[in-house]
Amino acid sequence: LRLFSGSANIGLATEVARYLGMDLGPMIRKRFADGELYVQIQESIRGCDVYLIQPCCNPVNDNLMELLIMIDACRRASARQITAVIPYYSYARADRKTAGRESISAKLVANLVTQAGANRVLAMDLHSAQIQGYFDIPLDHVYGSPVILDYLLQKELEDFVVVSPDVGGVARARAFAKKLNDAPLAIIDKRRQAHNVAEVMNVIGDVKGKNAILVDDMIDTAGTLLEGARLLKKEGAKKIYACATHAVFSGPAISRLSSDVFEEVIVTNTIPVPLDNYFPQLKVLSVANLLGETI
Ligand code: R5P
């Protein structure tokens, strides 16, 4: 077994390697003057089971391309089996056509990863479960929720309700609530007018006087969670905990999440959070052991 990391999240890959009791394999990554990427595996991997760790986070296209080049390099070096470990799968929100003449980019990414030469994929918290079916190679889909649930359970919170910030996230939030001792569930009916602009309408369920745990798969600009949290406060919720596996954190996310409406913002390290993006309520949990165990 050989483990290599792309440049997207070397910290996480190093932790996974430590968990597995091995080192990351040597690899050269370079960029040509015109921006093209170059990768060379620095040891023989002929006949090996190779795991390539690369979340396709910002810069999304560079990280995706680097992953494809790594897969191609391993295939051409006669690896026996290539597993693309993609802790954050980008373009996942474009998982269907919602209007004419759109791309289903999530499927395109699946095609690219497969055609580059991956034999298997290990992904975490795909935005929608049907993306598993976009692959004709085996895909293991693991969830960051056990790590977040363990952390929340240690807090021994009382009188809380799990809240889905939109209708699309109900199954995720329901599964989360079930594992939190069958906690009650509330749903925010969110309507969007444009990409990355959240418009909150109303809460379905009882949140008055309760601590609310908002559960989402990703925090991008944090508009969804901030609007959701404000609405929950208006409806009489007490402390608000925001939880998500993927800390995409684009644009105004950090200033929005620093709002005192949040008691705590709990994410995982599928995407690295730069030190200067930390704020007092932020808690970053590691999924390295989970990934290591799955590998
Ligand atoms: C939407 O369907 C997703 O599950 C997230 O709620 C959304 O992508 C978060 O985006 P933002 O943080 O920009 O509101």
Q: Tell me the pTM.
A: 0.95
**Residues 69, 150 share a domain:** no
pLDDT of residue 239: 97
**Residues 150, 133 share a domain:** no
Ligand 1 pocket test: which of 88, 145, 220 has the largest number of ligand atoms within 8 Å of its C-beta?
A: 220
In a 13 Å sphere around the CA of 218, the CA atoms on its Cβ side amount to: 22
Residue 64 lies in a domain: yes
pLDDT of residue 100: 97
276 residue type, one letter: D
DSSP letter assigned to residue 17:
H
pLDDT of residue 192: 67
Residue 220 structure tokens:
């991008």
pLDDT of residue 260: 97
Residue 270 lies in a domain: yes
Residue 292 lies in a domain: no
Q: Indicate the burial class of 47 (C-beta count within 10 angstroms; 0-12, 13-18, 19 or more).
A: exposed
CATH number of the domain bearing residue 156? 3.40.50.2020
Residue 99 lies in a domain: yes
* SS3 at position 98: coil
Q: Which residue stretches of the chain are H helix?
A: 10-20, 60-76, 105-116, 145-154, 170-179, 223-234, 253-257, 288-294
**Residues 167, 107 share a domain:** no
**Residues 214, 111 share a domain:** no
Residue 36 is labelled as binding a ligand: yes
Residue 294 lies in a domain: no
Query: Which residue minimizes the CA distance to atom 2 of ligand 1?
Result: 168
Residue 94 lies in a domain: yes
Residue 251 lies in a domain: yes
Q: How many domains does the chain have?
A: 2
- Give per-residue burial for 198-231: e unless 16+ CB within 10 Å, then b: bebeebeeebeebbbbbbbbbbbbbbbbbbbbeb
pLDDT of residue 173: 97
**Residues 125, 10 share a domain:** yes
**Residues 126, 73 share a domain:** yes
pLDDT of residue 233: 97
pLDDT of residue 157: 87
Q: Select from 107, 142, 177 the last residue of a domain.
A: 142
Residue 293 lies in a domain: no
**Residues 76, 123 share a domain:** yes
Beta partners for residue 31, in sequence order: 37
The verdict on the CB of residue 224 being under 6 Å from ligand 1 is yes
Could you report the average pLDDT of every consecutive run of 10 residues in the chain (295 residues)? 98 98 98 98 98 98 98 98 98 97 98 98 96 98 97 92 95 95 93 68 94 98 95 97 98 98 98 97 98 98
pLDDT of residue 194: 72
Q: Select from 127, 142, 157 the last residue of a domain.
A: 142
- State residue 125 phi and psi, 5-degree precision: 35, 65
Cis amide leading into 165 (omega within 30) = no
**Residues 150, 259 share a domain:** yes
Q: What's the gap in Å between 169 CA and the centre of ligand 1?
A: 10
pLDDT of residue 3: 98
Q: Distance between CA atoms of 284 and 153, rounded to whole angstroms?
A: 16
The verdict on the CB of residue 200 being under 6 Å from ligand 1 is no
Quote the ipTM score: 0.98
pLDDT of residue 200: 59
Residue 223 is labelled as binding a ligand: yes
Q: Select from 119, 142, 165 the last residue of a domain.
A: 142
280 residue type, one letter: P
The verdict on the CB of residue 216 being under 6 Å from ligand 1 is yes
**Residues 168, 134 share a domain:** no
Q: Which domain holds residue 97?
A: 2-142
**Residues 173, 71 share a domain:** no
**Residues 119, 31 share a domain:** yes
**Residues 245, 155 share a domain:** yes
Give the residue numbers annotated as catalytic, written as ranges: 190
Q: What share of the chain is helix, strand, coil (3-state, %, to 5)?
A: 35, 30, 40
DSSP letter assigned to residue 239:
-
Query: Which residue minimizes the CA distance to atom 13 of ligand 1?
Result: 221
Residue 294 is labelled as binding a ligand: no
Q: What's the gap in Å between 155 CA and the centre of ligand 1?
A: 26
